[in-house]
Amino acid sequence: MKKYILLDWDGNLARTLDIWLDACHIAINNQGIQKTDEEIAASFGQFTKYLTEWGISDVNAAIEDADKVAKKQLPEVELYPDAAAVLETLKEQGKKLALITTSPHENIQHLLEKHGLGSMFDVIVAGDDVENHKPHPEPLDTAIEQLGGNKEDSIMIGDSDKDLGASENAGVDSILFYPPEHERFYSLESLKSHNPTYVVSDFKDVIDIVN
């Protein structure tokens, strides 16, 4: 049984992957670079690093372009099916919930309010709260400490190699959320190389796993 539930936002609770994929494509195309969907998806959470590796001449301009395009669509983003219901059930069961995201607070706070999740999380660790982002363990360690929890009773739920890598590095069990639509973004076999403790395609399965 797990008491402390750590959850990613983008691509895990919120259906933002398409938005960020399109925004990043536009941003790097403006710089004369083209990459596949999977290459773009691999850059999520470490966009600056990948832009540099791809030889982008003006990294800051590319980041600003991506943010500008994405922010036009983010206010309308929806949650994955059953995500809100699962969170409510976990709260009713007495679980402590932490949202861990690379996105800054300003990108997520209004969405939490829109979907009635403003008071759902006991802790929120956003990208502007830590020096090191996932897959570094700092965001998970920070969340567990703020929850007053421990790693043995904690589990991370996420969709990407960054989430799974952070779980590995922090020594925390993990659940990979991989619905059919994620085949566009990630290779399941590649994600499995990061040793998720569990893999689910339906978010409701999380409830049985943590109990």
Domain borders along the chain are 4-14+79-210, 17-76
pLDDT digits (tens, 9 = 90+) for 182-198: 998 899 999 999 999 99
pLDDT tops 80 at residue 178: yes
- Residue 86 is predicted with a pLDDT of 98
Average pLDDT over residues 163-176: 98
Q: Assign domain 4-14+79-210 to its CATH superfamily.
A: HAD superfamily/HAD-like (3.40.50.1000)
pLDDT tops 80 at residue 42: yes
- Residue 99 is predicted with a pLDDT of 98
Average pLDDT over residues 35-62: 91
Tokens coding 191:
């994600």
Average pLDDT over residues 58-66: 94
- pTM for the predicted model, two decimal places: 0.91
Percent of the chain with pLDDT over 90: 88
Distance, in Å, from the CA atom of 11 to the CA atom of 21, rounded to the nearest integer, reads: 11
pLDDT tops 80 at residue 45: no
Amino acid, res. 179: P
- Residue 57 is predicted with a pLDDT of 86
